[in-house]
Structure 1
């Protein structure tokens, strides 16, 4: 006797979502890295004789991508403003939101040579957003459980990220502000490096979170860059040496850092590498050292080979709807 035909039930119809309903903040760290890469290539005009417009072309393309992503995230906030605070509760969201604000500093630094008015507006918005995000996270850490106060490299972005503000602030004439930002950021960075080292010696870092360790290189590269801009080479040189040591450690432990495979957290590799190339270029010009010039060139090539593919993969994950799921982004 033959079995009756079996007709499986139709697959469930997925819930229809609104446009930009789950825009993931994790899209911003690699964009921040692309901004850093564009600024590094702009600097290469002086050091390596690169055509003056090349860095500007990169910065122009990144600016369009950044503005699109900002609009997409604002569209999510308009639909449900509480998603902002929900995104701050998870590490990828927290890193993404602060990267969005820090990218504003880099955008202002990119356009200050064309329009001081627009650069001032963008700088002011970025500073206000940075204070908002850092203040909210600090409040959560202070009032939350003690277990949630473990130091992470993202603290550098939150509390040392103000060191990026002199990039547009100094050309705009805010010298006193930049000086305060530099010394304050230096003190906080040293405290975070010390606390992170003590914590690392006590317990190993889980493999999925190891790429975040690359963020430690960012302040070690940006602090001496600003020191050079402020005319403090005697402060910049020791920090440059620290940056070289940190990058060497990251390269030597590259396999250990990436053992968990590609993830959106690889965005943490992007900006620190670009910032390192920039400071090495400045140090090479300041000292006339051919060794530093070679290091600057090699790091610029490495940044150019690594940052765009990482950014492309993260953007593709967003376009396929995977990025929001993997980073637990809030939904409006």
Structure 2
């Protein structure tokens, strides 16, 4: 196969490129910023169908691996901004792919769309702009591709790993917290987790099959307590993690939502409803059982050389 990976310099995209090439496929990359391994400098938010078609000519498939920060507060209303960042670039990419006769594609999505199907009573699309736009991204991207170009949507949980200097966007604050002397406390609930390598392998499997389905991915399901304890252990600061009461979690997030709204700002995930997600077990069944620990330690290295303190 000959595949274009949009966002090919990022954590997920770079791993997809590696797996494609390991399996004997040809991969080219497009990214917003020039750098090692970037074949085409391209701003997916502004690239037109006509800009994209020459990059896709003669290829078999395309992967959209660019990402959006769903937690960062932005000025209201955020829906048009999320449409511009998440939905419209995918529509243009797969419109161009269809016009060039490509036969397979993949979108790096979110496990929130999996839970929207599994738990419709949570009303995720109504409460969270990010989830609404993830659903629109998948639906409209597939419509643009047409029936002859199946597009798989990889529904991603917390993803651990590294690609050069690229780490998960949430890794920095957790790394600093785990290395500090501050107490570690987490609410009940938990999340599915996967390594970037696993995501890449599942993505390439889907491309090889020409799969156009929704594909939730999990290597392990972790409670928040377990995840933070393992991160602290990885960085050499092993200690017990306390339990933050659910009521305190709800009150804090509601207050954050009120303050954000007072500042005329929004985030893709609404803080006023985020507690419902944070306190739930966002687990994907079945998990693959692939080892997550190497990717976790790659994300959170022990730079002090293994001076872990015993649990107290």
Q: Scaled by the length of structure 2, what TM-score is found?
A: 0.30
| Structure whose residues are more often strand by fraction | 2
Greater relative contact order (CA < 8 Å, ≥ 6 in sequence): 1
- Bigger Rg, structure 1 or 2: 1
| Structure whose residues are more often helix by fraction | 1
Q: Scaled by the length of structure 1, what TM-score is found?
A: 0.29
